[in-house]
A and B are shown apart, each in its own frame.
Chain A
Amino acid sequence: MDIKNRILEIVPEAEFSENGSLVAIVPSSNLYTLAKRLKNDEDTSFDYLLSLTGMDFGDSLGVIYHLESTKYGHMIVLQTSTNDKDKPELYSVSDIWKGANINEREAYDFFGIRFINHPDMRRIFLRDDWVGFPLRKDYNDELNPLRMTNEVTEDMTQELTLDKDGTFTNKENIIFDDQEYVINIGPQHPATHGVLRFRTSLQGETIKKIEPYCGYIHRGIEKMCESLTYPQTLALTDRLDYLSCHQSRHALCMCIEKAIGVEIPERVQYIRTIMDELQRIDSHLLFYSCLCMDLGALTAFFYGFRDREKILDIFENTTGGRLIQNYNVIGGVQADLHPNFVKDVKEFSSYMRKILKEYHDIFTGNIIAQQRLKDVGVLSREDAISFGATGGTGRASGWACDTRKRKPYGVYDKVSFKEIVYNEGDSFARYMVRMDEIVESLNIIDQLIDNIPEGEYQVKMKPIIRIPEGKYFASVESSRGEFGVFIDSRGDKSPYRMKFRATGLPLVAAVDTITSGGKIADLIAIGGTLDYIIPEIDR
């Protein structure tokens, strides 16, 4: 089926550009209808909103939607814009895809685009008293000195509604009313794994509603990237999700390499794939540790950290870093593998397979752990797709969303591995997906480690890298979901707009849905099994 004709059928005014990827440019008035049709029509069924990117095109503000169908696997990019830069208003798609809600708040925060019919039009990362919208090209930074006053948390939120007769009204929605028992879980809380804040409304021990507040570690990485050269932007990806820095950097390198059309040597592909999988094990071990700690099993926490240390040692030998690896570069990797790498990895692989049994003995099988996790925080498959909750969370809900299988990159098409999918959607399934993935990652590594081809570890690149004009997108399976990089290039040595698809943002958006009706202790278990990393959410 030709998606292009299909879009033209629905919106005859649509235009197409094919720089980098196929983009359908749609007038803002038609976008909502088109999006709804694309999602609901049986033959298109774009049910997964991969990414929603706010854009400043210079003379207009707009949004780029990356859509994908979980049924057919096809993709389309929609673009819409408004010329009114003083009062930019676009139609919200948050009732079509649940994940759009939080992403549209991000677009509002950075570009000031107000989404019509969006129920909760507040800033998400920045303070409410922030002046201006930072990712706009005409943004004046001097208006925002470091503020020393407290930020007031509002219990009200704005909604811009379009009535039937075509008039806009500002509506105020209540988040929490005065009578509710609201506690702050976070930003400084042992179980939020970073500076994330949940305002939680309680009824006794039972959770009524959760409102996530992000942005405590927002560093404006996307804005910074706009003024950095491409090699310089690489250093920032390691600081997004520090437990999948190889993968995030792999995504960015892949996107740039695809855009400039470099052929990557086979050896590099192998090295990158092995490193990605080691990183995945590293991340899942930390996941295990932190989940155990959240549930009070402090001893199991140390087991994970003890064995993670071995991976870090392997990393340190080859990449020179333990947490911030700095390994992938455009056109290859920073340095060749350490002479001991193969031996160390093999040793680790056999050790890890043996020691995993202990993990299961002390925690997985434990009746208390099972009771804490089973049937707790069920996320249905539909919700997982609608929120865009990829990674282990999506796979635990029965959504086979592994990017390694869907859009193979690296040498994932050359290895055989199982995509772990559970159908329960509860915390225990989310936990088991990750534990089983450790074994699958070991299988992948075992298949590759003996066959690393000889050759160059780096392609010589030009000193100044320029990407031809166009829009590029590449995604990898990071440790906790589909991590995507979107680059809009105008042919300069630095990107015009760079957007990272955060794997954690949909998870945070889904917390309220997953948790409601659970206990406080369930929130902790759910937070642990969702396995989000705050720096990546806040960027």
Chain B
Amino acid sequence: MNSFFKYFHSLFSGILTLLIGMKTSMKVFLRKKVTEKYPENRDTLKISDRFRGTLVMPHDTENHHKCVACGICQISCPNGSIVVHFDTVVSEDGKKSKVLTNYEYDLGNCMYCQLCVNTCPHDAICFDNSFEHAVFSREKLIKKLNREGSTLVKK
């Protein structure tokens, strides 16, 4: 008799747990959905300003950047995503200085560790929020960060 009772007890308690589950899923069925419609909601999409999208070199209105081409970012990059190309210019009073010609940044290689931004002594580079990186070839991921004709900001 005991086992008979146990059989039905386990049967009904089992059915009860199933019904609790069904109740829960029905509750969620009627709830507001959480799907985000991505390409349509671009305007309302909230991204943290700390989000690391792409490395950029901010330029001011007169097309000046702050990079002195010291190359610290290149040294601190763990996987060689940054190559700083520069010319050595001798000024009138005989001082040698580096002038940035091409700040090459390989987006496809970058692992967003932020060491370049952390170590930059002049805050010349930073990460911005743009995250739509998809392109059709790898070459397009190699970017030149300094704009055409830009020069070092005057102190």
Binding site for B on A (CB under 8 A): 228-229, 231-232, 234-236, 239, 299, 303, 306, 309, 316-321, 324, 326, 329, 334-335, 338, 358, 361-363, 365-368, 370, 463
CB contact between A231 and one of B24, B27, B52, B115 (< 8 Å): that residue: B115
CB-defined A-B contacts under 8 Å, sample of 27: A229-B76, A232-B115, A235-B78, A299-B25, A303-B28, A316-B47, A316-B48, A316-B50, A316-B51, A317-B50, A320-B48, A320-B51, A320-B52, A320-B127, A324-B111, A326-B52, A335-B50, A338-B48, A358-B27, A358-B28, A361-B21, A361-B24, A365-B17, A366-B20, A367-B18, A370-B17, A463-B119
B103-126: CB near A (< 8 Å → 1, else 0) gives 000000001111100110000000
B21 touches A231 (CB 8 A): no
Dominant SS among interface residues on chain A: helix
Q: Does B34 sit at the interface, judged by CB under 8 A? A: yes
A326 touches B34 (CB 8 A): no
Instruction: Evaluate whether A367 and B34 lie within 8 angstroms (CB atoms) in the complex, with A232-B113, A317-B48 already known.
Output: no
Query: Considering the chains assembled together, what is the distance between the CA atoms of A445 and B70 in angstroms?
Result: 43
Tell me which residues across on chain B come within 8 A of A239, comparing CB atoms: 111
| Residue of A239, A319, A320, A329 most packed against chain B (CB within 10 A) | A320
Tell me which residues across on chain A come within 8 A of B112, comparing CB atoms: 321, 324, 326
Known: A306-B34, A362-B21. 8 other contacts (CB 8 A): A234-B113, A299-B25, A316-B50, A317-B50, A320-B127, A361-B24, A365-B17, A370-B17
Nearest 4 pairs of A and B residues by beta carbon: A320-B50, A235-B113, A367-B14, A232-B78
B12-45: CB near A (< 8 Å → 1, else 0) gives 0111011011011101100000100000000000
Binding site for A on B (CB under 8 A): 13-15, 17-18, 20-21, 23-25, 27-28, 34, 47-48, 50-52, 76, 78, 111-115, 118-119, 127
Tell me which residues across on chain A come within 8 A of B115, comparing CB atoms: 231-232, 235
Instruction: Evaluate whether A365 and B21 lie within 8 angstroms (CB atoms) in the complex, with A316-B48, A335-B50, A338-B48 already known.
Output: yes
Instruction: Evaluate whether A321 and B76 lie within 8 angstroms (CB atoms) in the complex, with A234-B113, A367-B17 already known.
Output: no
Query: Considering the chains assembled together, what is the distance between the CA atoms of A231 and B21 in angstroms?
Result: 49
Nearest CB in chain B: distance from A446 CB, A? 24
Tell me which residues across on chain B come within 8 A of A303, comparing CB atoms: 28
Query: Considering the chains assembled together, what is the distance between the CA atoms of A317 and B51 in angstroms?
Result: 8
Tell me which residues across on chain B come within 8 A of A316, comparing CB atoms: 47-48, 50-51
Query: Considering the chains assembled together, what is the distance between the CA atoms of A318 and B78 in angstroms?
Result: 23
Tell me which residues across on chain A come within 8 A of B20, comparing CB atoms: 361, 365-366
Instruction: Evaluate whether A228 and B78 lie within 8 angstroms (CB atoms) in the complex, with A326-B114, A367-B18, A463-B119 already known.
Output: yes
Tell me which residues across on chain A come within 8 A of B47, comparing CB atoms: 316
B24 touches A362 (CB 8 A): yes
Query: Considering the chains assembled together, what is the distance between the CA atoms of A174 and B45 in angstroms?
Result: 58
Nearest CB in chain B: distance from A367 CB, A? 4
- Nearest residue, chain A, Cβ from B127: A320
| Residue of B18, B28, B76, B118 most packed against chain A (CB within 10 A) | B28
Query: Considering the chains assembled together, what is the distance between the CA atoms of A299 and B127 in angstroms?
Result: 37
Nearest CB in chain A: distance from B22 CB, A? 9
- Nearest residue, chain B, Cβ from A235: B113
A318 touches B50 (CB 8 A): yes
Tell me which residues across on chain B come within 8 A of A358, comparing CB atoms: 24, 27-28
Query: Considering the chains assembled together, what is the distance between the CA atoms of A80 and B104 in angstroms?
Result: 47
Query: Considering the chains assembled together, what is the distance between the CA atoms of A231 and B18 in angstroms?
Result: 52
Nearest CB in chain B: distance from A213 CB, A? 27
Query: Considering the chains assembled together, what is the distance between the CA atoms of A365 and B76 in angstroms?
Result: 52
Tell me which residues across on chain A come within 8 A of B78, comparing CB atoms: 228, 232, 235-236
Query: Considering the chains assembled together, what is the distance between the CA atoms of A367 and B50 in angstroms?
Result: 45
Tell me which residues across on chain B come within 8 A of A319, comparing CB atoms: 50
B21 touches A366 (CB 8 A): yes
Query: Considering the chains assembled together, what is the distance between the CA atoms of A235 and B78 in angstroms?
Result: 8
Tell me which residues across on chain B come within 8 A of A370, comparing CB atoms: 17
Tell me which residues across on chain A come within 8 A of B50, comparing CB atoms: 316-320, 335, 338
A321 touches B52 (CB 8 A): yes
Tell me which residues across on chain B come within 8 A of A324, comparing CB atoms: 111-112
Query: Considering the chains assembled together, what is the distance between the CA atoms of A286 and B112 in angstroms?
Result: 24
B48 touches A326 (CB 8 A): no
Tell me which residues across on chain A come within 8 A of B51, comparing CB atoms: 316, 320-321
A232 touches B76 (CB 8 A): yes
Query: Considering the chains assembled together, what is the distance between the CA atoms of A335 and B115 in angstroms?
Result: 13
Nearest CB in chain A: distance from B103 CB, A? 20
Tell me which residues across on chain B come within 8 A of A236, comparing CB atoms: 78
Tell me which residues across on chain B come within 8 A of A321, comparing CB atoms: 51-52, 112
Query: Considering the chains assembled together, what is the distance between the CA atoms of A324 and B113 in angstroms?
Result: 9
Nearest CB in chain B: distance from A320 CB, A? 3
Query: Considering the chains assembled together, what is the distance between the CA atoms of A320 and B25 in angstroms?
Result: 34
Query: Considering the chains assembled together, what is the distance between the CA atoms of A299 and B48 in angstroms?
Result: 29
Tell me which residues across on chain A come within 8 A of B113, comparing CB atoms: 232, 234-235, 326
Query: Considering the chains assembled together, what is the distance between the CA atoms of A362 and B27 in angstroms?
Result: 11
A309 touches B76 (CB 8 A): no
Nearest CB in chain A: distance from B12 CB, A? 11
- Nearest residue, chain B, Cβ from A321: B52
Query: Considering the chains assembled together, what is the distance between the CA atoms of A354 and B17 in angstroms?
Result: 19
Query: Considering the chains assembled together, what is the distance between the CA atoms of A303 and B27 in angstroms?
Result: 12
Nearest CB in chain B: distance from A420 CB, A? 23
Query: Considering the chains assembled together, what is the distance between the CA atoms of A321 and B53 in angstroms?
Result: 10
- Nearest residue, chain A, Cβ from B46: A313
Tell me which residues across on chain B come within 8 A of A367, comparing CB atoms: 13-15, 17-18
Query: Considering the chains assembled together, what is the distance between the CA atoms of A134 and B113 in angstroms?
Result: 26
- Nearest residue, chain A, Cβ from B114: A326
Query: Considering the chains assembled together, what is the distance between the CA atoms of A235 and B79 in angstroms?
Result: 11
Tell me which residues across on chain B come within 8 A of A320, comparing CB atoms: 48, 50-52, 114, 127
